[in-house]
Amino acid sequence: MSQDILKYLIAGVGGVFALLLIIFLVINKKLQGSNTKYARKLVEGTRNTALSLDVFFQKFYIICTKNPILRRYALKLRRRLEIINLEDEYVTRKQVASIMFKAVLIVIPLTGVVIYMTHNNYLVMSSILLFEIFFIETLLEGMVDGIDNKLLREQLDFFSEIRHAYHEFNMVEEAIYDVAQDDEKEVSRQAEKIYEVLISDDPETELEKYYDIAPNSYLKEFAGVSYLTKEFGDRKDKDGASLYLKNLNNITQEMQIEILKRDKLDYVFQSLSMIAALPILFLDTVKNWAVGQFSFTRQFYNGTGGFMMQIALIIITFLCYILTRKLKDNGSVNTAANMENPWQAKLYKKKLVKKFVDYFIPKNGTKEYRKIVKLLKDSASKLKMEWLYMNRIMASVVGFVVSLIILFAAHKIAINFQFTEPTSDYDLLGTMSESQEKKAMETTEKDNVFLRKFQYDYDVTQEDLKEEIAESDEYGDSSPEDLDTITERIWGKLQIVQSEYIKWFEILIALVIMVIAYQGPVWLLIFQKIMRQMDMENEVMQFQTIILMLMKIERVNVEMILEWLERYANIFKEPITKCVNNYESGPWEALEELKNDISFQQLIRLIESLQAAVEKIPIKEAFDELDTERAYHQEKRKESNERTISKKSMIGRVIGFAPMVLLFVGYLIVPLCAIGLTSMTSAFSSMQKMM
């Protein structure tokens, strides 16, 4: 190891140590403040030692909420975890801090490695650091999904224990209370809450409140069925089995199908997001290898062509990464993001902004307005119309500005290439020796004298340049033949330098990109709509299970069934909500309007059965085939999930591997072949002239 490397290594270690010391002092100072009193109160009586990990997480949570960078992620995590933990502040803070601490431990070293590896290429460095923002989102969501999946698996054991406890007590609330005593499980808090709902003075109102905070639909179903059984009593099925326990079995089967679906989706997409993002890391590696092995590619990779290909690869990589995440997350049961007061709403309140945005929003009642409204509903987007158009306008402005910046940077790179690249003829294979490169750079420096002098003189002619070269100190002693060659070379460079400016057709390209960016948010909604259509059949089969549980309970009517369907609906939530609101004005007419609002045939058949149950026949008879064909519907749903996962897997692989294919084909193979063939053609032409 050389002394210079050792010196740099010691300096680097010292710098890292100093940084860690500063961070420690800052954190220690914050922990001594009054903000930690509440955390100490929360953990009072729980500490075993002064270095308790739980205490550390409670204090780290406060740091996260005070830090402007970490605060956004901490609050986003909290919104999801506090639903799972049901008002348990201590556990919520602990889980948020634990996840944030793991993320920080991963991201900080990763950022250091990225900066070290890409410090010579600011474009790649900034792109990777920007990508880290998306990576953090994926990392945090993955950890929360792990807690969500853990809760779902615990529910399987929980329902199994409920069955045994119900056999013992023969009372729903007592069975739930008995099983809820296991404090080690996450699901125990949910069981305690459901028990409190059932024994409250107004269980129906409390149940509606619980529906709003339940972490998944299966606990909603369990709470609802438990309430109905407590209120109306349990019944025996035609085979003598308890109807309550049979409904528990139906919910358990639904959960088993959902767990298998999530496991398969996680397995299929576990590495696709990372594969989609990998090409950014290897841009410099591919470039350095190509230039090192084939020096004739230097002009492409260090020039405008290579720069534009890097930009295209970065944009496509980001798009593919986002689409891959959308593709996977579409099938999961996630809590909706906080959309109460986003940046779009804050900006839209400004008078000038509102007036400008309203100019783009189509008028209410027009075909375009109805089309956008339908798209927002079909894609289950939480965006309002004005928020969507805020996104579209912002995307178009950013697209136009970024396009101009990229074009301007491309011209600067082309000019810089003429001033910095060694001036020499390159062989097809191999590289220049150190002496050859030094001599070529000396030639470049001599040429730069004339390029700088005439760079902004657009009236200069080749003859004027030749005279200037002949009288110069750099090339004044050259022979006439060499003088002509030198003049031709410098004149060619000068023409390139003087032609590198923003042209009218480049402004037109930026405008086209602006239009494409304006359509981007709409295309994203269309993609989300297509992905959701794959889950329509799955949701209707969930409706069938809910109806199957309700139809044998006494005093259940069509309106109650619709309210349950609305509670668990996702894709068809809007039309079902509309039907529930219009039900009092006329049940048959409301259901008929619901049929007209949807086009999925399986759901239409369910609605027709509900119409029959309104006036003609009892609910049990209207849906009698659901009970007799239960096994068939279960198998059909499993097969439907398989098809959905298979389609998503195929689309995901295409999207996920697209950037990698573009990296090796578009950024390496195609330039090598094209430039190689051009170089060979030029070489053969030169040889023919010499002969």
pLDDT for the residue numbered 511 = 93
Instruction: Give the pLDDT confidence of 458-490 residue by residue, as tens digits.
Output: 888 888 888 888 887 777 777 778 788 888 888
> Is residue 417 within 8 Å of 528, Cβ to Cβ?
no
pLDDT bucket at 2, cuts 50 / 70 / 90: very low
CA dist., res. 453 & res. 224, Å (int): 84
pLDDT for the residue numbered 512 = 93
**Which three-class secondary structure state does DSSP give residue 574?**
helix
pLDDT for the residue numbered 331 = 41
Query: Over the chain, what is the mean pLDDT?
Result: 79
Q: Which residues contact 476 (CB under 8 A, 6 or more apart)?
A: 470
**Among 107-111, 234-238, 308-312, which range has the highest average pLDDT?**
308-312
What DSSP designation does 666 have? I
Instruction: Give the pLDDT confidence of 426-442 residue by residue, as tens digits.
Output: 544 455 667 777 777 88
For the cut 60, the answer to whether the pLDDT of residue 63 exceeds it is yes
Domain extent listing, the chain? 1-32, 38-117, 345-533
**Which three-class secondary structure state does DSSP give residue 474?**
coil
pLDDT bucket at 335, cuts 50 / 70 / 90: very low
pLDDT for the residue numbered 392 = 92
Instruction: Give the pLDDT confidence of 595-633 residue by residue, as tens digits.
Output: 887 877 888 888 888 888 887 777 777 777 776 666 777
CA dist., res. 582 & res. 589, Å (int): 8
> Is residue 562 within 8 Å of 222, Cβ to Cβ?
no
DSSP letters along 413-458, please?
HHHHHHHHS--SPPPSSB---HHHHHHHHHHHHHHHHHHHHHTT-T
pLDDT for the residue numbered 400 = 93
For the cut 50, the answer to whether the pLDDT of residue 334 exceeds it is no
> Is residue 201 within 8 Å of 94, Cβ to Cβ?
no
CA dist., res. 335 & res. 337, Å (int): 6
User: CB atoms < 10 A from the CB of 154, how many?
Assistant: 17
pLDDT for the residue numbered 428 = 45
Instruction: Give the pLDDT confidence of 117-149 residue by residue, as tens digits.
Output: 777 777 777 777 777 777 787 788 778 888 888
Rg of the chain (C-alpha set): 34
CA dist 638 → 257, 541, 646 (Å) = 7, 10, 12
Structural tokens at position 211:
């529906």
Alpha helices in 534-628 (DSSP H): 536-550, 558-568, 573-582, 587-597, 601-615, 619-622, 624-628
What DSSP designation does 235 have? -
pLDDT for the residue numbered 49 = 45
pLDDT for the residue numbered 397 = 92
Instruction: Give the pLDDT confidence of 505-561 residue by residue, as tens digits.
Output: 889 999 999 999 999 899 988 888 877 777 777 788 888 888 888 887 777 888 888
Question: Helix 385-420 vs helix 351-360: angle between axes, to the nearest 10 degrees?
Answer: 90
Instruction: Give the pLDDT confidence of 153-193 residue by residue, as tens digits.
Output: 888 888 889 988 888 888 888 888 888 887 667 788 888 88
**Which three-class secondary structure state does DSSP give residue 23?**
helix
Residue 361 backbone phi and psi in degrees, to 5: -70, 130
Instruction: Give the pLDDT confidence of 357-380 residue by residue, as tens digits.
Output: 888 888 888 888 888 888 887 777
Higher pLDDT, 299 or 566: 566
**Among 85-94, 151-160, 338-347, 465-474, which range has the highest average pLDDT?**
151-160
CA dist., res. 676 & res. 684, Å (int): 12
pLDDT average, residue stretch 295-319: 83
CA dist., res. 220 & res. 199, Å (int): 17
Alpha-carbon 58 to chain mean position: 29
Residue tagged 């306008």 (tokens): 393
Of 491, 638, 619, 642, nearest to 564 by C-alpha is: 619
Please report, to the nearest 10 degrees, the dihedral formed by the alpha carbons of residues 233, 234, 237, 241 taken in order.
-170
The DSSP bridge partners found for residue 430 are: 294
Of 393, 396, 411, nearest to 506 by C-alpha is: 411
Query: For every residue of 63-124, which 3-state class applies, written as one string?
Result: HHHHCHHHHHHHHHHHHHHHHHHCCCHHHHHHHHHHHHHHHHHHHHHHHHHHHHHCCCCHHH
Exposed/middle/buried for residue 369 (C-beta within 10 Å: 0-12, 13-18, 19+):
middle
CA dist., res. 362 & res. 392, Å (int): 13
Q: How far apart are the first and last CA of the chain?
A: 53
Structural tokens at position 39:
């955390």
Least confident interval from 11-20, 148-157, 254-263: 11-20
Residue 201 backbone phi and psi in degrees, to 5: -70, -30
Side chain identity at 144, as an amino acid letter?
V
The DSSP bridge partners found for residue 294 are: 430
CA dist., res. 200 & res. 16, Å (int): 58
CA dist., res. 208 & res. 181, Å (int): 24
